[in-house]
Amino acid sequence: MNIEELRKFCLSQKGATEDIKWGADLCFCIGDKMFCVTGFNGPMKVSLKVKDDEFDTLCEKPGIISAPYTGRFKWIYVQNAEVFNDKQWKHYIQQSYELVKSKLPRKVLAGL
């Protein structure tokens, strides 16, 4: 998966928006809460929220670490895009979207 495919897939999620934060990070959000973050420059590197029980196992894989600043909330940082194939990328992006969406207040969900 490349950055354009990632962008297209993220924006295909119901209610998803994109924003640029911190000057160089492309953030995909649901209800103003991030579910996927990537940079514009260099090779694709991505931060995603994962299930609590998957976090440690994923962080043991070469090319994946606990995300700086958000790792305590079970976010991973994929430093090597080759770690996942396209099907896995879609799975983890969709899962991150669903995990973040599930924590949104009912009022916000109703507005989506």
Q: What angle do CA 2, 17, 20 make, to 5 degrees?
A: 70
Cα–Cα dist 101/13, whole Å: 11
Q: Mean per-residue pLDDT for 15-34?
A: 93
End-to-end Cα spacing for the chain:
27
| Structural domains in the chain plus CATH codes | 3-103 (3.90.1150.30)
Higher pLDDT, 13 or 111: 13
pLDDT of residue 40: 80
Share of the chain above pLDDT 90, in %: 83
Cβ(47)–Cβ(65) under 8 Å?
A: no
Show the tokens assigned to 95. Answer: 């899962």
pTM of the full structure = 0.93
pLDDT of residue 35: 98
